[in-house]
């Protein structure tokens, strides 16, 4: 299924310069080598690697959706609240004694539904994505409070932890394998399927894409709903990682997701970026996080490190594209 | 009518909203209409109102201009101030150094957006991380007590002049007048409007678009810093996470005040009036013992609601102009 739309400008197969992914790989290698050395091997312990893979997977799954959203020229800053609200609603079902089979769809549908709300506000309401989702960020969090009251939900079925986190296949925790599978599917989809090519066309030039017969509204709608769905799934995985829902569940999460995506080279001016970049970006974010813990650095440095890395990485690539100056 | 499109009906609308909000809260708690409560509302409104002044310039400069780091700047400014005061730096000097640091933080945002050419959302999200992290690092994550500091310093946030809060009379209103003059009475203001309306035309007309927008981020950093200092003096303490919801609230105020989210329109006068409305809503909610999460949620509803109501109106106006 080749993508060339009649009359549309030909979209190069890989818009992202290979250089960026190489740069990320080198960064990652340096970080891993440094942390491995200074943590006296603690980095390479099975427990640490498993933790690293599990948290990377939980960030990576919504990051796949976020990559597509950003590729279309949008953004969603409400993802953390969405994760919290999905966990609160799904967790309430668990607490009410619902079976796993009945509750999993609740997670997925809640996530997709919240993504749909964002999509409608952005597409039908014509609200700039950052402002619409800044609004829903606070609204979803308010609803988390309404749902939970002052309670914590701890009745999470242990099977979640066992299946997703404890069990291994091919040397990796199962969540990590699932996340990798998603990355491969999404990557193939973006590269070889018509809708995937449309995502790039739309991000490059919305007006041109529209003239070429692409319907931007549909693609954007699909992107936000897909992000919601993946976030709903991530909420389920979060409960496998730590079996508890509280009012703060998911706060701060979106920053990691967006950091991973933009660090991976996906550009907010749209039309540029790959899933491979997002995978590497996620690993860099999580390795920094892990390194700060292992090297006994004050955890407060985490934000500073991420901020600096993002500015440096994007600043370098966007100035290079602009022709230096 | 001013070319920037500040519409005349907006002040009436905002005044009506303010009265309605106040009346709504007064039904539940008539005592909210007391002088002491108005005083508290003004004190709350001043800090977020200052930030909204800077945010107005940033948003009206167009090109998806937005500063998500304002709250982090306010928090970091407080911590810098607290550290300086605890190192026995004289308070006027400490305040001056903090203001300088705030200009620097704004300048980093400006450089990230205009020189590194990072999308404003991403650039200020990254600095939000960075500044909030630095505030935690510098404070060790704890509050710094300032209650033992000079009463002159504490008066910045607790004093009264002519029976009204010091920060309202001596800081906010003059700042508002300066921003209004800057926006409506100077070359810079007009150039920023043009940049926000059509940056290509502005560049072709010989304007340095990047510098105009950059200056807005620097001024926004400055107003966030002043708000942080006033907040520290008011509470007699510094908190690294002092400004957590400031980005949401300041953007809601700017939008409610009639500044178009696509740049090139609006006025700090509208922003000031919208500040009154938001201050009433926010204070009213906390007066009724609503958790801050609910305040943020309600402001989120207001933000989205205002734009949903306004967009069709704007679209109709645009069609008529064609």
B74: CATH: 1.10.3470.10
3-state secondary structure chain B: CCCCCCCCHHHHHHHHHHHHHHHHHHHHCHHHHCHHHHHHHHHHHHHHHHHHHHHHHHHHCCCCCCCCCHHHHHHHHHHHHHHHHHCCCCHHHHHHHHHHHHHHHHHHHHHHHHCCCCCHHHHHHHHHHHHHHHHHHHHCCCCEECCCCCHHHHHHHHCEECCEEHHHHHHHHHHHHHHHHHHHHCHHHHHHHHHHHCHHHHHHCCCCHHHHHHHHHHHHHHHHHHHHHHHHHHHCEECCCCCCCHHHHHHHHHHHCCCCCCCCCCCHHHHHHHHHHHHHHHHHHHHCCCCHHHHHHHHHHHHHHHHHHHHHHHHHHHHHHC
Residue of chain A minimizing CA distance to B262: A128
> How much is the ipTM here?
0.85
Please check the confidence at residue A319 and state whether its pLDDT lies above 80.
Answer: no
B268 occurs within a structural domain: yes
Spans in chain B with pLDDT lower than 70: 1-7, 318, 321-322
Q: Which residues of chain A lie closer than 8 angstroms to B115, CB-CB?
A: 319
Q: Which residues of chain A lie closer than 8 angstroms to B128, CB-CB?
A: 255, 307
* DSSP letter string, A54-97: HHHHHHHHHHHHHHHHHHTT---S-HHHHHHHHHHHHHHHHHTT
Q: Which residues of chain B lie closer than 8 angstroms to A311, CB-CB?
A: 112, 116, 118, 123, 126-127, 130
Contact B303 A134 (CB under 8 A): yes
B18 occurs within a structural domain: no
B130, B262, B301: residue with CB nearest A307: B130
B31 occurs within a structural domain: no
Contact B133 A247 (CB under 8 A): no
The tally of domains found in chain B comes to: 1
A127, A130, A300: residue with CB nearest B304: A127
Contact A306 B129 (CB under 8 A): yes
Taking the CA of residue B83 and the nearest CA in chain A, the distance in Å comes to 17
* Chain B contact for A105 (CB, 8 A cutoff): no
**A49-63, A196-210, A290-304: which is most confident:** A49-63
Tokens of A7: 């009359």
- Tens of pLDDT, residue by residue over A92-136, are 988 888 888 888 999 999 999 999 999 999 999 889 899 999 999
Please check the confidence at residue A144 and state whether its pLDDT lies above 50.
Answer: yes
Q: What is the mean pLDDT of residues A39-54?
A: 86
3-state secondary structure A305-322: HHHHHHHHHHHHHHHHHC
Residue A37: the pLDDT is 85
Q: What is the mean pLDDT of residues A142-155?
A: 86
* Alpha helices (H) along chain A: 18-38, 46-71, 79-95, 100-123, 129-148, 158-160, 174-192, 194-204, 206-211, 216-241, 253-263, 275-294, 301-321
**CB proximity under 8 Å: B 201-260 to A:** 245, 247-248, 251, 255
Beta-carbon-side half-sphere exposure of residue B7 (alpha carbons within 13 Å): 14
Decide if A32 contacts A288 (C-beta within 8 A).
Answer: no
- The residues that bridge with B237 in the sheet, in sequence order, are B145
Integer-rounded Cα radius of gyration of chain A? 20
DSSP 8-state class, residue A168: E
Tokens of B209: 């678009």
Q: Which residues of chain B lie closer than 8 angstroms to A143, CB-CB?
A: 297
Please check the confidence at residue A10 and state whether its pLDDT lies above 60.
Answer: no
Residue B71: the pLDDT is 94
CA distance B61 to B55: 10
Q: Read off the pTM.
A: 0.87
Residue B3: the pLDDT is 40
Q: Which domains does chain A have, with CATH numbers?
A: 21-319 (1.10.3470)
Decide if B79 contacts B101 (C-beta within 8 A).
Answer: no
Taking the CA of residue B120 and the nearest CA in chain A, the distance in Å comes to 10
Best mutation target, B105, B118, B251, to test chain A (most A CBs within 10 A): B118
**A87-91, A236-240, A247-251, B204-208: which is most confident:** A87-91
Domain residue limits at B276: 39-306
* DSSP letter string, A255-272: HHHHHHHHHTT--TTSS-
Output the average pLDDT for chain A: 84
* Chain B contact for A297 (CB, 8 A cutoff): no
Please check the confidence at residue A214 and state whether its pLDDT lies above 60.
Answer: yes
* Chain B contact for A306 (CB, 8 A cutoff): yes
- Tens of pLDDT, residue by residue over B81-126, are 999 998 888 999 999 999 999 999 999 999 999 988 888 998 999 9
**A73-82, A290-299, B259-268: which is most confident:** A73-82
Taking the CA of residue A85 and the nearest CA in chain B, the distance in Å comes to 13
Residue of chain A minimizing CA distance to B306: A127
Who's near A72: CB < 8 A, 6+ residues apart?
A199, A202, A203, A216, A219, A220, A223, A270
């Amino acid at each position: 299924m080749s993508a060339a739309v009649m009359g549309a400008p030909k979209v190069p197969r890989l818009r992202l310069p290979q250089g960026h992914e190489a740069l990320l790989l080198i960064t990652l290698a340096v970080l891993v080598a440094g942390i491995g050395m200074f943590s006296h091997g603690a980095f390479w312990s099975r427990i640490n690697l498993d933790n690293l893979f599990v948290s990377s997977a939980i960030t990576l799954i919504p990051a796949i959706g976020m990559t597509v959203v950003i590729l279309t020229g949008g953004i969603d800053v409400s993802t953390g609240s969405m994760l919290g609200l999905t966990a609160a609603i799904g967790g309430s079902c668990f607490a009410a004694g619902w079976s796993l089979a009945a509750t999993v769809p609740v997670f997925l549908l809640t996530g997709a539904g919240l993504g749909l709300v964002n999509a409608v506000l952005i597409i039908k309401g014509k609200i700039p994505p950052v402002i619409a989702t800044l609004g829903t960020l606070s609204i979803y969090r308010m609803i988390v409070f309404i749902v939970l009251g002052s309670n914590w939900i701890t009745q999470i079925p242990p099977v979640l932890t066992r299946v997703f986190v404890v069990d291994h296949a091919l040397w990796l925790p199962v969540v990590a394998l699932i996340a990798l599978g998603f990355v491969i599917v999404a990557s193939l989809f973006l590269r070889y399927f018509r809708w995937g090519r449309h995502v790039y066309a739309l991000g490059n030039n919305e007006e041109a894409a529209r003239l070429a017969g692409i319907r931007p509204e549909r693609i954007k709608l699909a992107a936000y709903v897909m992000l919601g769905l993946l976030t709903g799934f991530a909420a389920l995985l979060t409960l496998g990682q730590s079996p508890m829902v509280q009012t703060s569940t998911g706060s701060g999460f979106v920053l990691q997701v967006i950091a991973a995506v933009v660090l991976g080279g996906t550009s907010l001016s749209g039309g540029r970026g790959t899933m491979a970049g997002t995978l590497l970006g996620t690993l860099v974010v999580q390795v920094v996080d892990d390194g700060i813990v292992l090297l006994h650095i004050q955890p407060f440095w985490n934000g500073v490190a991420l901020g600096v890395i993002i500015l440096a990485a994007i600043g370098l690539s966007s100035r290079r594209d602009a022709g230096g100056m | 009518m001013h070319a920037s499109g500040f519409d005349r009906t907006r002040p009436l609308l905002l005044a009506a909203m303010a009265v309605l909000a106040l009346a709504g809260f007064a039904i539940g708690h008539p005592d909210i209409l007391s002088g002491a409560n108005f005083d508290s509302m003004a004190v709350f409104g001043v800090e977020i109102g200052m930030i909204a002044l800077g945010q107005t310039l940033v948003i009206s400069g167009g090109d998806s201009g937005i500063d998500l780091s304002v709250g982090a700047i306010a928090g970091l400014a407080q911590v810098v101030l607290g550290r300086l005061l605890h190192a026995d730096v004289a308070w006027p000097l400490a305040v001056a150094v903090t203001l300088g640091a705030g200009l620097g933080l704004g300048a980093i945002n400006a450089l990230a957006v205009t020189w590194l050419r990072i999308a404003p959302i991403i650039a200020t999200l990254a600095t939000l991380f960075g500044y909030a992290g630095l505030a935690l690092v510098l404070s060790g994550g704890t509050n710094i007590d300032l209650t033992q500091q000079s009463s002159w310093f504490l008066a910045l946030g607790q004093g009264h002049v002519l029976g009204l809060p010091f920060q309202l009379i001596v800081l906010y209103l003059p700042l508002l007048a300066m921003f209004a003059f800057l926006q409506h009475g100077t070359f810079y203001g007009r150039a920023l409007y043009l940049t926000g309306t059509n940056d290509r035309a502005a560049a072709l007309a010989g304007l340095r678009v990047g510098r105009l927008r950059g200056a807005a981020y620097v001024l926004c950093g400055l107003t966030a810093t002043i708000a942080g200092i006033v907040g520290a003096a008011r509470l007699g303490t510094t908190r690294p996470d002092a400004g957590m919801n400031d980005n949401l609230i300041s953007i809601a105020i700017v939008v409610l005040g009639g500044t178009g989210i696509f740049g090139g329109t609006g006025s700090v006068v509208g922003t000031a009036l919208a500040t009154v409305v938001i201050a009433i809503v926010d204070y009213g909610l906390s007066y009724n013992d609503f958790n801050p999460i609910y305040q943020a949620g309600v402001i989120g509803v207001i933000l989205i609601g205002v734009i949903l109501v306004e967009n069709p109106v704007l679209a109709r106006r645009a069609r008529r102009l064609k």
